[in-house]
Amino acid sequence: MESENQTDEAEFLLLGLSEDPELQPLLFGLFLTMYLVTVLGNLLIILAVSSDPHLHTPMYFFLSHLSFTDICFSTTTVLKMLVNIERRSKSISYTGCLTQVCFVLFFAGLENFLLAAMAYDRYVAICHPLRYTVVMNPRLCVLLVLLSLVMSIADALLHSLMLLRLSFCADLEIPHFFCELAQVIKLACSDTLLNNVLVYSVTSILGGVPLFGIIFSYAQIVSSVLRMPSAAGKYKAFSTCGSHFSVVSLFYGTAFGVYISSAVTHSSKKSAVASVMYTVAPPMLNPFIYSLRNRDMKRALRKLT
């Protein structure tokens, strides 16, 4: 009998958020606007940090890398959706889908690690202010970014290479607007036990460790601030980490929201809509959070204009 395995010539279908033809122009305009706002907003952050000597500090060093990661993350997920809507096609090749999975994992992981590095920066700045310049030296900042890159690359390559061992047959429909790892694994017609074990174990470690670091850093920050005698000192300390805390809350809040939504509802469409909040909203809103709540950033942006 002819083998059903069609992996070599497989073509996945990205069903997107809606199959209604009348909604496609609206979705195209909405996501194009969100994508352009994301790119322009984060580019302004990068330009402001690089052009203003007052912003050449560890916090803004990490912020510029976070902004670049947000641009790449949004480009990886949204751009293919826009192209498919414009071409009135839902297809993505086997190679293209695995490549997208790899880049989504890489940039999501990198953002996760960068947020943890920024939390550590705020912890040292508030809890050990006299040692800040010694601890957060340029060498450590570069090492933290390189470590984030290496860990993210390892995570993305591990899962992507493990996908190569799977066979895919028919009905390759992904109820999302991008190739998500969990959805791709579900479509395999070969044994996926090892893949699922890796997803849960690696995600628990590489996602849990940075999250624990962030929680520990903020627990120490709150404890240190509450011991300050003056209200003005407390306000100043909290204001220095307010933007980062907002970004962390947005990133992890939307991520947990997607996880809970997927666990509670069995509707793939609702899960796809919920994933928009995780993949599109944080990269778009991060520049507004940092520019609206930060006087130094406002000054630097005014200089650009």
User: Phi and psi of 173, rounded to 5°?
Assistant: -100, 125
Which of 153-157, 181-185, 234-238, 284-288 shows the lowest mean pLDDT across its residues?
234-238
| pLDDT > 70? residue 275 | yes
Give pLDDT, residue 261: 64
User: Phi and psi of 166, rounded to 5°?
Assistant: -85, 150
Q: What is the mean pLDDT of residues 215-222?
A: 92
Q: What's the rounded Cα separation, in Å, for the pair 188 and 14?
A: 16
Contacts of 65 by beta carbon, 8 Å cutoff, 6+ apart: 114, 145
Which of 72-81, 229-238, 252-261, 296-305 ranks highest by mean pLDDT? Answer: 72-81
Give pLDDT, residue 1: 37
CA proximity to 156, closest of 189, 123, 129, 181: 181
In CATH, what is the architecture of 9-302?
Answer: Up-down Bundle (1.20)
Token output for 67: 């902004």
122 torsion bin: left (phi>0), alpha (psi -120 to 50), beta (else): alpha
For β-strands 91-93 and 11-14, DSSP reports them as: antiparallel
pLDDT in tens, 85-143: 888 888 888 899 999 999 999 999 999 999 999 999 999 999 998 899 999 999 999 99
* Sign (positive or negative) of CA dihedral 304, 42, 71, 200: positive
- Domain spans of the chain? 9-302
Query: Are 244 and 118 spatial neighbours (Cβ–Cβ below 8 Å)?
Result: yes
* Residue 5 banded pLDDT, cuts 50, 70, 90: very low
Kindly report whether the global pTM for this prediction surpasses the value 0.85.
yes
Give pLDDT, residue 268: 63
Give pLDDT, residue 8: 54
pLDDT in tens, 129-170: 889 999 999 999 999 999 999 999 999 999 999 999 888 877
Task: Tell me the residue type at 4.
Answer: E
Q: What is the mean pLDDT of residues 47-75?
A: 92
Give pLDDT, residue 256: 76
